[in-house]
Chains A and B, each alone.
Chain A
Amino acid sequence: MARAIELHDIGMVFASRQGSVHALDEVSFGAEAGEFLCIVGPSGCGKTTLLKILAGLLFASTGTVQVNGESVRGPISNVGMVFQSPVLMPWRTVLDNIMLQVEVRNLDRGKYRQVALGLLQLVGLAGFERKYPYQLSGGMQQRVSICRALIHDPALLLMDEPFGAIDALTREQMNLELQRIWLDHKKTVVFVTHSIPEAVFLADRVLVMSARPGRLLKVFDVELPRPRTLETMAEPRFSRMVTHIRREMQAHGGLE
């Protein structure tokens, strides 16, 4: 069976009048269905670009992308995306922002309304469904965008620093919830983060990228058993893994 995702020799050059930016260079990796990948790398190394190429929203300058064995030639559809910023529509309420996914995909609104309310409860936003985005904090907005990415139960989840704007305590809770959802539904996840502990906590494999032009430096297999709990983070092998990855990044001049 074909792999869930397969990227081969991806290179990306942004050309503009001020000169060209070499964002990605010969990036190759893949994931089996149901695998959880985390990508860490210094700011500006092309992580967002990579996710957009994977989603078919940007076209790589070189290389090939396959999702479920099919070449990506335009926006792929069975995907849920969380962008680095919440990207909520200011004219829609929280609930209607989540329901956008349902409306555009022509799914049953009545049924998914309940799903949306359940997801809001899950991310600690029960009772906020009628609020407008401007009435929410940045972290709350980002949680809404996570609900929106999950509601249609996509096979592939692409998340770009989804918990960047969330406080440490809520973030731990969200990590646990994300792991639980992933264990329940066995989605393929590609998750970008700046936090190495978060990457180790969530991932089956951690992909470490170099500074621009972004290359794949090293891939770490995380063998910690599932489900991982907050105690997992206190284990010696957890911190050993974190230290390994940090050293790898520092050796290549990448600051966390």
Chain B
Amino acid sequence: MPTDAALGLPGPGRRARWLTSPSLRPRLLAVYHRLAPPAYALVALILLWYLALFISRTPDFILPYPDRIVVAFFKDAGLLYRHTIVTLQEIGLGLAIGIAIGLMGALSLVWSRTLETAVLPWVFLLESTPKIVIAPLLVIWFGFGITTKILVVTLLVFFPVLVTTIAGLKSVETDMLDLIQSMGASRWQVFSKARLPTALPSFFSGLKLSAALATIGAVVGEWMGADAGLGYLLLSAYDSFATPLLFAIIVLLAMIGTLLYQAAALCERLMLPWHASLRQESTIAM
């Protein structure tokens, strides 16, 4: 007679074995050891926060108690949701356009010698200038609608992708090029089989930078003038001294930034399982 476990049923016997399985316990333990210290640190910070406020009797509008922030989350949930959707749209579209432009720019700059010699010096010169100063111009050209916000995100996002991808495409070793050329590779084969895969790790580090910048772009875009979005809500919370709401928005924006970054990092892990910097990470995680 087949047992529950053989049938794949979650019977009591199966669950017990699952928990005591020899390979699982050390892994659970490792996860615990990784997550526990930061969790303790957070708890300690919150306790300190309470303690400091309790002793100093700081007014609510300067620094609210943490539970007031949690309350703000629930009380203004509908409001926060509506504005988060707007900001996410700006970030999503801006990122998509920015990454596409950065990627295509890098590919064409490295593919064409003429473009490379004429344009690449400018790219590197502009790399260190603050791109955000162009935002007011974008408002003049495109008004206060969502287009401007998307373009501000695009503006911030495309540059890191462009620069890191170019650097990656150019980082192929001479021996690698010699090797593939000794196989009689066409220009396209050199590109697709050697240059492009070599550039991927760089591209992903650019992508992670962009993920962090996208949120900044959206918020700054909204600060230039808007009637919706978390950046807009941040300003109005500030105007009315609604500090708990302000904190709630900050936490939300931090979460969006983190999620974007982690999404990029996840794509990287899935696409580049061989990549050196990740190999070390995975041995620690296991």
Contact = CB atoms under 8 A, between A and B. Distances in A.
Nearest to B185: A104
Interface size class of B (residues with CB under 8 A): 20 to 34
A175 interface: no
Interface in A101-116: 101, 103-105
A87 B197 contact: no
Given A75-B184, A100-B193, A132 B178 contact: no
Contacts of B183: 77, 100-101, 104-105
Interface in B152-192: 173, 175-176, 178-185, 189
Interface size class of A (residues with CB under 8 A): 20 to 34
Given A75-B181, A104-B193, A132 B274 contact: yes
A100 B182 contact: no
Contacts of B193: 100, 103-104
A82 to B, nearest CB: 10
Contacts of B75: none
B274 A87 contact: no
Contact of B176 (A52, A89, A103, A105): A89
A83 B176 CA distance: 10
A101 B181 CA distance: 10
B7 interface: no
Nearest to B184: A77
B192 to A, nearest CB: 10
Interface in A46-87: 52, 55, 57, 75-77, 79-81, 83, 85, 87
Nearest to A80: B182
B184 A90 contact: no
A134 interface: yes
B272 A81 contact: no
A77 B173 CA distance: 20
A53 B183 CA distance: 15
A103 B183 CA distance: 9
B276 interface: yes
Given A83-B175, A134-B279, A91 B180 contact: no
Interface in B266-280: 272, 274-276, 279
Interface in B26-63: none
A91 B184 contact: no
16 contacts: A55-B182, A57-B178, A75-B182, A75-B184, A77-B184, A81-B182, A83-B179, A87-B173, A90-B276, A100-B180, A101-B183, A105-B183, A105-B184, A134-B274, A134-B276, A134-B279
Given A80-B182, A100-B180, 12 more contacts: A52-B178, A57-B178, A57-B181, A83-B178, A87-B176, A89-B176, A91-B197, A103-B193, A104-B183, A105-B184, A132-B274, A134-B279
Interface of A: 52, 55, 57, 75-77, 79-81, 83, 85, 87, 89-91, 100-101, 103-105, 132, 134
